[in-house]
Amino acid sequence: MMSTDQMVAWLRQAMGTAQWDAETAARETEPEWSDGGPYGEGVHTQRHGSPVAVGPWGYMDDAVRTHIARHDPTAVLRRITKDRELLDDILAEKHHISDDPWYTCPAATRERDGGTYAETEGGGQCSCGRDERAQRRIRTLAEGYGWTEK
C-alpha cells in the first residue's frame, strides 16, 4: 500500500503533466475551441490549420463535438488549479489539539498543528481521524487523474 506522501507526490506529478498538456494544446489550437452551435467553429491546429476534433463537415456527432469543446484547455487548466487548491486544503487540515494532553492527537506537532501539548517531533499514530480523512480524499482526487492503486 502506497503512503499518502507517495500518493500526493504522484498526484502533483499527474497535475503537472495535465497542465503541460493543456497549455501545449492551448498554444496549438487557440482561439479555435468552441462548441458554437450545430456546425461548430471547429478545433484546428495553428501550425497545420487542420481540423483536430470538430467542424461543419458532418463527420462528428454534435454531442461528441460539444463534449470535446467543453474540455478545452482553459476549462482543464481551471479544474487543475482548483484541484491543487483542494489538495492543499486537504493537507492543511490539522490534527485535534486539546488543552488536555490526553485528548491531543499523538500525530499533532506544535509546528504544524499548534497547541501546548502537541509533540515537538510528532510521528505518533493519528487518533483524531485527520490522516484517514486526508488519505481518502486525496485518493478520490488522484483517481480522477488515473490513480488505480489501493
Residue 109 touching Zn ion (CB under 5 A)? no
Residue 131 near residue 4, CB atoms below 8 Å: yes
Residue 142 near residue 17, CB atoms below 8 Å: no
Of the residues 7, 107, 141, 142, which one makes contact with Zn ion according to CB under 5 A: 107
Choose between 58 and 100: whose C-beta lies nearer to Zn ion.
Answer: 100
Q: Which stretch binds Zn ion (CB under 5 A): 30-38, 51-59, 72-80, 129-137?
A: 129-137
Of the residues 44, 115, 119, 130, which one makes contact with Zn ion according to CB under 5 A: 130
Residue 95 touching Zn ion (CB under 5 A)? yes
Residue 141 near residue 86, CB atoms below 8 Å: yes
C-alpha cell at 88: 492543499
